[in-house]
Amino acid sequence: MDGRGREMINFLPLIYEDELLFSVISRYKQICGMESKRALEMDLFKIYKRMGRKSVLFPQYLDTFVSNLPPTSKLSIKEIITNHTMYPFYTAMLSEQKSQSVFIAMEKGYGKCIENMVGMAGSKVKSTNYLRYCPKCYKEDLEEIGESYWRRLPQVPGALYCPTHKVLYKDSNVVITDCRNDFYCVDEDTCNTEVMMDTNPNQFMLLNLRYMENVSYLFKQHVIKKDLTFIINFYIDRLRERGLASKGGKIYIERLIEAFLSYYPSDYLELMQSVVDIEKEANWLRLFVRNNNKNRSPLRHLLFLQFLGITVEELYSTKSTTGKQTILLKRTPLFDVEERRKQWLMIIEKNPGVSRSQLKQIGKGLHTWIYVNDREWYEEVTPRTRERKQKAEIIDWEKRDEGCLEFAKSAVERILNAEGKPIRITPSTIRREIGVSRWFNHAKLLKTRQYISDVTEDIESYRVRKIVWAIEEMIKQGEKLTVYKIQLKAGFGGGNKGIKDIIIKTIM
C-alpha cells in the first residue's frame, strides 16, 4: 500500500536566512496549532526515528524529513545541513572525509549524538546550555516580519556580540541540552527585547566582532576542508614569518605564549573559554600548536588565526604549506668553497679601502653566494667600511640613549598605572607601550637597556602584584574575599596550589 501521499506534510513555513531547522519546525508547530510533540514528530520524522529532533544543533534523519516535505518544496538535504544547522562551523577544521561522515550521519541518521563525532563532547570549549538571541534582532523582526526566529550565529561558542547591532547576545529560557524539551519559538515566552548592560572594556567587543566575521564566513562560504596536518603546517609557516618559529619550523613556544597573551586580555580569554595558564606545562596553547591528532575546537582555531592577523578565508585559499623542514646545508664540493674564498680575497686585496657595498657591486654573483652560504667567513675577512663608520658617527648614541630612557620610564609608569588587570613589565611590553620594535634593544643604548633589565618583573613579583590588584578590586566592589575567588579574579584558574600559598601569604 502506498501511504506516502497521505503522510506528507502540506506545507513548510518560509525559512529565514541563518535560521536553525529547530526554529523552522517550532514555527511549523505553532502555525499548525499542534499541541502534541509526538504528533509533530510523527509528521516530520516518523515516530520510530525520534532521534531526528533530539539535537537542536545537529538534527538527524534529514532524508526522512525531506521526503515528507510537500512535492513543491525545493529544500534539499544539503541546503538544510549547510544553511540551517551548526554543521559548517563544527566541521570547518575537520578533514573533508570526516566532514562527509558527519554529513551522512545527519542525512541517514546515526543513532548516537553527532556532538560526539565533531568533538564537542570531549572539548573544554562548551556550547551554551540555552538557545541564545540578540534582543535587537528580535525587536526588529517583530516590527518588520511580525515574528522572529532562532538564528545560528548566537549559538556559536564564543559568540558574544551581535555583529549587526553590536549588543550582547542573551540566553533565552529554552534549554538546548535537554532532549525531552519541546519546540519553542522566539516569542515573549522565551525572549525579551531588553538590552543587557555591557560592562566589558570596548576592546572586547572589537575583538569579538573580528571573531564573528570569521564565524560568519564559515556559515556563508562552503569551504573545501583542509586536514589538520595542512592547518598545523600553515600555522608554522605564519609563525616563522613572525619570528615565532625557527627556519626549520621549531616553534618558540615561550615567545608565542607571551605574544598571544599580550594580544588577548586574559579576561577576554576567560569569556572565550580559553584561558592560557602559563604555569601549566600542558596549557591548551602548547598542545594546540603541537602536531598531534587531538581534537581542537574551531573556536580556538579562530582565536589563533585572529592572533596571527589572518582571516579564515586566507587559510582556505592557501594552496600549499611548508611546515617543518629539514634545513640541509647545500652540499658544495669543497674546492668550490675554497675557490670562491680565494676569489673574494682577491677582490678585497685589489680594492683597498672600499666599502662593503662597493665590494658587493664589484663581485656581484660571488658576493651573494658567499654572503648566503659562507656568512661567518665573510664577516671575518671582509673589512668594515669607512662609509659605515661615517654613518655611525652621525648618530649620537648617548643622546639617543637619554631620550629612549625617558620613553622607557614613562612607558613603565603608564603600564603600572593602567586600569584593569596588571600587565607584566617585560622588555616587550615596554616596547609595545612605546610603540617601537626591536631596535630599542640596541646594544649602544646602555642606560635604557640597564633600566629595562632592572624593572623587568620576575614572574613571582608579577603574580603578587596581580593578587594585590584583585584583592583591592574586590574590596572596592564589596565582594567577599576568599582565596579561591581572589585566584579567579587575578586570572589564575582554580587548580593552582602554588598560587594559593602566595595569596594566603599576601592576605596575612
Least distance to Zn ion, CB of residue 212, Å: 11
Least distance to Zn ion, CB of residue 318, Å: 32
Site for Zn ion in 182-201 (CB under 5 A): none
C-beta of 136 vs 485, nearer to Zn ion: 136
Which of 138-146's residues contact partners 24+ apart within 8 Å by CB, and which partners? 138/186, 138/191, 138/192, 138/193, 139/193, 141/186
Site for Zn ion in 455-474 (CB under 5 A): none
**What track of x and - describes contact with Zn ion for positions 105 through 144 (by CB under 5 A)?**
-----------------------------x-xx-------
Helix or strand holding residue 38 (H, E) = helix 37-45
DSSP calls for 136-196: HHHHHHHHHHS----BSGGGSTT--B-TTT--B-EEEEEESS-TT-----SSTTT---PPP
How far, in Å, CA of 304 to CA of 257, rounded? Answer: 11
Least distance to Zn ion, CB of residue 57, Å: 20
C-beta of 168 vs 425, nearer to Zn ion: 168
Least distance to Zn ion, CB of residue 135, Å: 8
Least distance to Zn ion, CB of residue 268, Å: 21
Q: Which of 56, 80, 159, 162 binds Zn ion (CB under 5 A)?
A: 162
Place of cell 541517514: 108
How far, in Å, CA of 197 to CA of 465, rounded? Answer: 29
C-beta of 162 vs 191, nearer to Zn ion: 162
C-beta of 125 vs 162, nearer to Zn ion: 162
Q: Is 341 in the site for Zn ion (CB under 5 A)?
A: no
Least distance to Zn ion, CB of residue 452, Å: 46
C-beta of 162 vs 423, nearer to Zn ion: 162
How far, in Å, CA of 433 to CA of 451, rounded? Answer: 15
Q: Is 164 in the site for Zn ion (CB under 5 A)?
A: yes
Task: Work out the angle between the directed axes of helices 253-263 and 427-434 (0-180°, nearest 10).
Answer: 40
Q: Is 312 in the site for Zn ion (CB under 5 A)?
A: no
How far, in Å, CA of 133 to CA of 169, rounded? Answer: 5
Least distance to Zn ion, CB of residue 136, Å: 4
C-beta of 159 vs 269, nearer to Zn ion: 159
Judged by CB under 5 A, the stretch of 86-94, 163-171, 338-346, 355-363 that binds Zn ion is 163-171
Least distance to Zn ion, CB of residue 23, Å: 15
Judged by CB under 5 A, the stretch of 157-165, 255-263, 369-377, 497-505 that binds Zn ion is 157-165
C-beta of 137 vs 408, nearer to Zn ion: 137
Site for Zn ion in 404-443 (CB under 5 A): none
How far, in Å, CA of 416 to CA of 261, rounded? Answer: 17
At residue 245, the 3 state secondary structure works out as strand
C-alpha distance across the termini of the chain, in Å: 83
At residue 321, the 3 state secondary structure works out as coil
- Under 8 Å between Cβ of 59 and 52: yes
Helix or strand holding residue 131 (H, E) = strand 130-133
Q: Which of 46, 165, 400, 409 binds Zn ion (CB under 5 A)?
A: 165
Least distance to Zn ion, CB of residue 209, Å: 12
Least distance to Zn ion, CB of residue 216, Å: 13
C-beta of 166 vs 409, nearer to Zn ion: 166
Helix or strand holding residue 5 (H, E) = helix 4-7
Least distance to Zn ion, CB of residue 200, Å: 17
C-beta of 167 vs 366, nearer to Zn ion: 167
C-beta of 200 vs 321, nearer to Zn ion: 200
Alpha-carbon 387 to chain mean position: 47
The size of the interface with Zn ion (CB under 5 A), counted in residues, is 6
How far, in Å, CA of 464 to CA of 472, rounded? Answer: 12
Place of cell 536566512: 17
C-beta of 137 vs 499, nearer to Zn ion: 137
How far, in Å, CA of 383 to CA of 367, rounded? Answer: 14
At residue 130, the 3 state secondary structure works out as strand
> Amino acid identity, residue 214?
N
- Chain positions contacting Zn ion, by CB under 5 A: 134, 136-137, 162, 164-165
